């Protein structure tokens, strides 16, 4: 059976036409699935009973299953653990801000990039998520939340640009105004820095915000933290970022996880500032959320402040982003890892 979830509006219209029905039925299906979050044909009340029977006999609308939710003590973050039809698990996070609701979605099961402080890469890559599995994280969370989710960040498990086609398709679906209607400007893709894919995304011309995980301003150190840095040197990466900015004309974010004694030296802050000189850039400083699996420690708050002030002295806008929901393993891949290890029950 064809799973309708994960199809764009025009694909649904073609599908119903192939079945001898008017194309507007495809639009109705699109609205039911993505705008109303209805996944059962029998509840689609503007379709005749005979159409509901016909559609449910030839198509289905699959769902991923929420198997665990955790709400942070501050009640500003909810983490969702999903089980997929093959038994694999992924995570998504709902974040409450004063003026908006945002979700952080996964794009892969596991991750091949093995960044040295990230739980998602610990057990390697298993598979790419299908477009519908990416979209359904959003739909399942929106179904449980009365307020509208307005922002999406692709910062969950996996590297979005290495599941490029499926991520872009999911974005097109989530952007469609007759569905969830998330503005492209409210979507952020976070990447570890896959140079050719950054250039490819620039060619799309969509005003998607790009957040680049830099974590070190010199190659030698970056290579220790992020194995992919051996393939794409910082100079090449920054060229791609400047190219992206020239095409998309949006401020770029650079993520910098501060790790005690590793990359929190103020000389590195100066190097980072000179790297970003001339760009419309913003740095998110993220003090490490330590995990027993890694030999790294969180930096002192004084050092974080000093690093921030050094960047600001050079005119670089900085936000210190405390990891939300540390009590609920909200950093990427942590909850999945703990459940797989049996440390937390699903
Ligand atoms: S930080 Fe991103 S790219 Fe690196 S291992 Fe984690 S999920 Fe993969």
CA of 115 to the centre of ligand 1 (A): 6
CA 12 to chain centroid: 26
7 three-class SS? coil
> Is 332 an active-site residue?
yes
- CATH code of the domain covering residue 230: 3.20.20.70
Same domain, 239 and 270: yes
190 three-class SS? strand
**Full residue range of the structural domain in which residue 53 is found:** 2-60
Same domain, 122 and 268: yes
- The answer, as to whether pTM is greater than 0.85, is yes
Residue where a domain terminates, one of 60, 76, 104: 60
Using one digit for the tens of pLDDT, what is the confidence trace for 1-51? Answer: 999 999 999 999 999 999 999 999 999 999 999 999 999 999 999 999 999
**Mean pLDDT taken over the chain:** 94
Ligand 1 atom, smallest distance to 112 CA: 8
Percent over 70 (pLDDT), the chain: 95
Same domain, 31 and 91: no
Contact predicate 167/200, CB 8 Å? no
> Is 267 an active-site residue?
no
- Which of 104, 111, 154 has most ligand 1 atoms within 8 Å of its beta carbon, as the pocket-test mutant? 111
Ligand 1 pocket by Cβ (under 6 Å): 111, 113-115, 118, 120-121, 157-159, 192, 213, 332
Task: For strands 101-104 and 108-110, give the pairing.
Answer: unpaired
Q: Report the C-alpha dihedral over residues 233, 236, 242, 244, rounded to 10 degrees.
A: -100
Same domain, 150 and 172: yes
Per annotation, catalytic residue among 91, 130, 133, 159: 91
Q: What is the pLDDT of residue 334?
A: 73
DSSP label of 185: G
Length of the chain: 346
Ligand 1: residue whose CA is nearest its atom 4: 115
345 located within any domain? no
Same domain, 30 and 55: yes
Contact predicate 287/258, CB 8 Å? yes
Q: How many domains does the chain have?
A: 2
Same domain, 173 and 215: yes
User: For residues 292 and 299, what is the distance between their CA atoms, to the nearest angstrom?
Assistant: 16
Same domain, 89 and 15: no
Q: What is the pLDDT of residue 346?
A: 62
Using one digit for the tens of pLDDT, what is the confidence trace for 37-89? Answer: 999 999 999 999 999 999 999 999 999 999 999 999 888 999 999 999 999 99
φ, ψ (nearest 5 deg) of residue 119: -65, -30
């Amino acid at each position: 059976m064809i799973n309708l979830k994960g199809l764009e509006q025009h694909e649904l219209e073609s599908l119903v036409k192939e079945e001898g029905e008017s194309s507007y039925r495809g639009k109705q299906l699109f609205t039911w699935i993505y705008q109303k979050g209805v996944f059962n044909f029998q509840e689609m009340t503007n379709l005749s009973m005979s159409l509901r029977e016909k559609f449910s006999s030839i198509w289905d609308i699959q769902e991923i299953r929420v198997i665990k939710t955790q709400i942070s003590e501050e009640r500003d973050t909810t983490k969702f653990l999903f089980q997929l039809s093959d038994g694999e698990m992924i995570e998504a996070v709902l974040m409450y801000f004063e003026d908006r609701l945002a979700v952080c979605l996964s794009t892969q099961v596991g991750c091949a990039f093995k960044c040295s402080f990230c739980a998602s890469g610990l057990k390697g890559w298993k598979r790419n998520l299908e477009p519908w599995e990416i979209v359904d994280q959003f739909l399942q969370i929106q179904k449980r939340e009365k307020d509208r989710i307005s922002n999406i960040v692709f910062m969950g498990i996996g590297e979005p640009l290495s599941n490029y086609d499926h991520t872009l398709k999911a974005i097109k679906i989530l952007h469609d105004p007759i569905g969830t209607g998330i503005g492209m400007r409210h979507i952020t893709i976070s990447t570890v820095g896959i140079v050719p894919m950054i250039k490819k995304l620039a060619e799309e011309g969509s005003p998607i915000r790009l957040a680049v995980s830099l974590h070190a301003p010199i190659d030698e150190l970056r290579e220790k933290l992020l194995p992919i840095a051996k393939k794409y040197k910082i100079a090449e990466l920054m060229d791609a970022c400047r190219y992206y900015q020239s095409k998309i004309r949006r401020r770029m974010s650079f993520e910098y996880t501060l790790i005690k004694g590793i990359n929190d030296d103020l000389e590195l802050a100066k190097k980072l500032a000179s790297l970003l000189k001339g760009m419309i850039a913003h740095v998110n400083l993220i003090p490490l959320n330590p995990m027993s699996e890694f030999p790294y420690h969180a930096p002192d708050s004084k050092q974080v402040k000093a690093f921030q002030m050094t960047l600001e002295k050079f005119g670089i806008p900085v936000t210190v982003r405390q990891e939300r929901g540390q009590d609920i393993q909200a950093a990427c891949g942590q909850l999945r890892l703990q459940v797989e290890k049996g440390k937390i029950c699903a």
